[in-house]
Amino acid sequence: MDFKRFLSLKKPCANCPFLKENGIAIGEERLAEIKQSLLHDDMTPFRCHKTTHPTGGYHDSDGVYHPSGKEKHCAGAMGFLYAKGRMNVPMRIGLMTGVLYLSELEEITPLLR
């Protein structure tokens, strides 16, 4: 995996569901499910919604997502995980390899819910 590319989103997109204001209206229950999943599985990254299907990723008939390999990690999800003290494996690798910095995460956490 190209961690430099995968972790290249440094700020949440304008309608990131993790934003306090102007995020996609996915519903509080769905957002809570996503957050719970992130906190319980540090191996699976949460991909930015703008980099999934538009880059060629798709869900099969069983609902399993097949990535295109062009997805990027959601900056809002990274900020959320950082704020909870639960950075996932891709984030930790990014920190160790110098493609992700704590200062970047600290900058976005006040924007998130």
CA distance 62 to 19: 30
Would you place residue 25 in the very low, low, confident or very high pLDDT band (cuts 50, 70, 90)? confident
pLDDT band at 1 (very low <50, low <70, confident <90, very high): confident
With CA atoms as reference, report the closest residue to 110 among 14, 47, 20: 20
Total count of residues recorded for the chain: 113
Residues 6+ apart with CB under 8 A from 62: none
pTM, whole model, 2 decimals? 0.90
pLDDT (tens digit, 9 = 90+) per residue, 29-87?
999 999 999 999 999 899 998 998 888 888 999 999 898 999 999 999 999 999 999 99
Q: Which of 20, 83, 36 is nearest to 91 (CA)?
A: 83
